[in-house]
Amino acid sequence: MAREVAGKKIVIVGATGVLGSHLATQLTESGAQVAAIVRDASHLDAATVTQHAIADLTDTASLSAALSFLAPFDGLINAAGVVAFGTIAELDDATLTDLFAINAIAPIVMLRESSQHINEGGFFANISAVVAQAPMAGMAAYSASKAAAWGAMVAATRELRRQQIDVIDIRPPHTETGLANRPIAGSAPKLPTGLDPEVVAARIVAAIRDGEKDLPVEAFSS
């Protein structure tokens, strides 16, 4: 079912990132009121974000407090995440823990904590990655963390139907956000040129507006 974006309050987690900032700009231009949850507010654009809260996504109490502060809202987009490169043999416990804490556990907790604050007819959108459905060698742990979140979102879609909340998992191909240049471990292999983050953001906003329930990698093909 299509939904109106103008006049709605939408929270972006990770609004200071490349993709998150494009989403904030495009949603604001569409008439939405954009709020943000970030670790550091110094890079927020006051022209696009009208309200914000500080939170550590790996701390449930911190995240819950931030969501309560911004509540109620009509939708939430999780644009936060980390990446790591390397084989399983090279993987250390700290990297594995951080990948799952931020890419898998945080989105699940975020959905659980935000569902009580999302207005009827609203949505929760988690930006995952193509590796959730097409795991890559040299990125096994990262792929697994994204696949875990994807599985949770698919199941939650059915669970939240009674509340009329859409759960949307978004799995774009490689996008030029610069994340590959900031891994928490390892070094990125040579990657093909990724999609323009502005184009990816526009596709996500269109999906939210049109009421799409899933956004696989194929949805981003030209």
Structure tokens at 188: 């990125």
167 occurs within a structural domain? yes
* pLDDT higher than 80, residue 1: no
Parent domain of 113:
9-220
2 occurs within a structural domain? no
* pLDDT band at 6; cut points 50, 70, 90: very high
Q: What is the pTM of this model?
A: 0.96
106 occurs within a structural domain? yes
* pLDDT band at 221; cut points 50, 70, 90: confident
Q: What is the mean pLDDT of residues 8-35?
A: 98
Q: How many domains does the chain have?
A: 1
Q: What is the mean pLDDT of residues 152-166?
A: 94
Pick the closest to residue 170 from 119, 206, 121, 194 (CA basis). Answer: 206
Q: What is the mean pLDDT of residues 165-174?
A: 96
26 occurs within a structural domain? yes
The pLDDT tens digits of the residues spanning 106-148 come to: 999 999 999 999 999 999 999 999 999 999 999 999 999 999 9
160 occurs within a structural domain? yes
3 occurs within a structural domain? no
Mean pLDDT across the chain, nearest whole number? 96
Query: For residue 66, what are the CA distances in angstroms to 19, 36, 62, 102, 152?
Result: 21, 9, 6, 16, 22
Residue 2's pLDDT is 85
Q: What is the CATH classification number for the domain harbouring 50?
A: 3.40.50.720
1 occurs within a structural domain? no
Residue 140's pLDDT is 97
- DSSP calls for 121-178: EEEEEEE--GGGTS--TT-HHHHHHHHHHHHHHHHHHHHTGGGT-EEEEE----BSSS
The pLDDT tens digits of the residues spanning 40-99 come to: 999 999 999 999 999 999 999 999 999 999 999 999 999 999 999 999 999 999 999 999
110 occurs within a structural domain? yes
Residue 56's pLDDT is 97
Q: What is the mean pLDDT of residues 144-159?
A: 96
Residue 167's pLDDT is 97
Residue 222's pLDDT is 59
- Taking residue 23's Cβ as centre, other Cβ atoms within 10 Å add up to 30
Q: Is 189 helix (H, G, I), strand (E, B) or coil?
A: coil
* pLDDT higher than 80, residue 24: yes
